[in-house]
Amino acid sequence: MRSIFIVVIVVLGMGFKCLAQTAPEAAHLTPKQQEMQPVVQRFNENGIKLKDLEKKLADKNEEVKKAGKTAKSSANDYGDAANDLKNNAHEKKYSRRAHNAAEQAKKDAKNEKKLKGQADDLEKDIKKLKKQIAKDEKKLKNEGIELPPA
């Protein structure tokens, strides 16, 4: 988590540095710096995207927890309804309650599974973005472009 914070600080620092340059200042850049400008810009944009994705992941994980609790509760309700049906097999009321509870449990389990898949996708995106940021950072360091201290 600390390394993410450091990357975000670096990204924001680079972003402000790039935004502070005016057109006349950009004309004074060396050819190497001008060549690396798109890498710096991508580095900054990816840092901002990373921060946004991490926030979304935290929110999604909260949703997954809530959905898991709901699914567990629905499954317990279905178990209770099934027991009532077992004890009163001749009454339609208990059959209907068990059926409805089973349908609700199925919906809740499906929703939880969907949310877990979305969280996994966000994790993959974050991993990919971190890899790209590291690659750009290495490229910038190799070219002698100084990054703000972490």
Tell me the pLDDT band of 11, cut-offs 50, 70 and 90.
Answer: low
What is the CATH number assigned to the segment(s) 2-142? 1.10.287
Instruction: Tell me what pLDDT residue 150 has.
Output: 44
User: What are the residue boundaries of the structural domains of the chain, listed by start?
Assistant: 2-142
| 3-class DSSP assignment, residue 104 | helix
Q: How far apart are the first and last CA of the chain?
A: 14
| pLDDT for 114 | 97
How does residue 33 score in pLDDT terms, banded at 50, 70 and 90? confident
Tell me the pTM. 0.70
Nearest to 16 by CA among 115, 147, 145: 147
H-type alpha helices, the chain:
2-20, 23-27, 31-87, 92-142
Segment 94-128, tens digit of pLDDT:
999 999 999 999 999 999 999 999 999 999 999 99
pLDDT of residue 16: 52
